[in-house]
Structures are given as C-alpha cells and as structure tokens.
Amino acid sequence: MIRLEDVDKVVVEPNGLRRDLFRSLNFSLSPAHSSVAILGRSGSGKSTLLKILAGLDTRYQGKYFFEGEPLLKNGATMARYRRENIGIVTQSYHLLSDRNVVQNVLLGFSGKKSIARAKECLALVQLEKFEKKSITQLSGGEAQRVAIARALVKNPRVILADEPTGALDEETENHILSVFSRLESEGHTLIVTTHNERVAGWCQSRLMLSDKKLVPQE
C-alpha cells in the first residue's frame, strides 16, 4: 500500500553541522499489516519518518509509492494525498483552543462536514458527552482521543500516530490502545512511532530505526 524506496535525508543540527538521518531507507506497508510500530532512540528520526509518510516533509531523496503509483513530492500533491488517505495523531494533539471538541473534530473533514459522523467518531473514542466541552478543559488522554476522533472522521486508510501515549499514564494508555484495537478491527491501518515497549508490543509488526535504516524487529 505504502512504499518508501531508497530514502536519504540530511538534517542540519542546531550547531550547524549536517547529519545523515536516513541513508537508503526502505519501508513497505502491505494491506496485510494492520499495525506497525516504529521504534528508535531519541533523535533517530522516528518523527521525521512519520512526517515523510504523512507527506509533511518532502525534502528528502528517494521515492514514495502509494498503491504502486509514485507520488510527486510537491506540497499540493502530498496535501491531497494526506487529505484523502491519511489520518494523523500527534504527540501534542494539535487541537485548536478557540473551538470546542466537536468543532475540532469537524476540522478533520476535507469536504462536506457531517456532525453525525463527528459524533460517531467521538462515541468510538468514548467521548460522547464531551461535544461542547472546551479544549482547555480536557485531560491529556481526552485530548488525545479527540485528536484520534478528528483523524477518523474522514475514514482514512492509514492512521499515523506519533508517540500517542507519550505523556499519558498507564490507565489512559490502556484506554488509547483499546481505541486503536477497535480501529484495527474496523480495517484501519496504524503506523505508530513510539519508544514505549508496551505500545510496540501491541502492534502487529515492529521496525527499529537503527543506523539510518529500518530494521525489522521480532
């Protein structure tokens, strides 16, 4: 479904030095995969890889294929691709504080908005009664679930989650994982970057970012 071929990525460190982040990195996600964990040390490039997969970062060498077709690495093409196929959940949620919960979820629609669908997704993440709540009143786990609901409203093929339980306690983490399980069962594919062994263990397959490449891990 998604394939990255020979990706080279160079980053500039805060001290001005250039560093190779990825060299001839390959990644392949087949429809058979329901969830993939990407593991790695801090600074190994997990978030950057997720940005590349989301089409948020196009400044790299290499090819990006979606369902066998190469994608043009320009902003407009990648934005359309992301809009149509990808749902994103970030570590810092990226919710708009001036809107309430349901209004944030509605942002996830690219075309016609459906409040019924937004409510359905909120129900899926067990936030049925939170629709009118202000974002500033939510806990970390609730905010993360709103972000997941927002990613879900357009029914994307793939959901990318960057450290989805990074700042959450064990109980909330369990809650999030149960939501992920439901998504998996509904046919969504999850790509999760994490350094949390429990989350990684939950995923169907695991890849380790090591020595600028992705290495399968048992």
| Residues 153 to 212 in contact with another protein, rule: CB under 8 A | none
- 181/98 Cα distance (integer angstroms): 31
Stretch that binds another protein, among 102-110, 179-187, 192-200, 205-213 (CB under 8 A): 102-110
| Residues 30 to 59 in contact with another protein, rule: CB under 8 A | 54, 56
Stretch that binds another protein, among 38-46, 81-89, 164-172, 181-189 (CB under 8 A): 81-89
- 94/96 Cα distance (integer angstroms): 7
- How many residues in the shown chain lie near another protein by CB under 8 A? 24
Our CA angle for 10, 217, 7, nearest 5°, is 25
Taking the complex as a whole, the smallest distance from the CB of residue 111 to another protein amounts, in Å, to: 11
Residue whose token pair is 């690219």: 110
Nearer to another protein, 77 or 172 (CB): 77
Task: Decide if residue 111 touches another protein (CB under 8 A).
Answer: no
- 171/180 Cα distance (integer angstroms): 14
Stretch that binds another protein, among 41-49, 94-102, 116-124, 125-133 (CB under 8 A): 94-102
Taking the complex as a whole, the smallest distance from the CB of residue 213 to another protein amounts, in Å, to: 27
Q: Which of 3, 33, 83, 133 binds another protein (CB under 8 A)?
A: 83
User: What is the contact surface with another protein in residues (CB under 8 A)?
Assistant: 54, 56, 75-76, 79-84, 86, 88, 90, 94-99, 107-108, 110, 136, 150
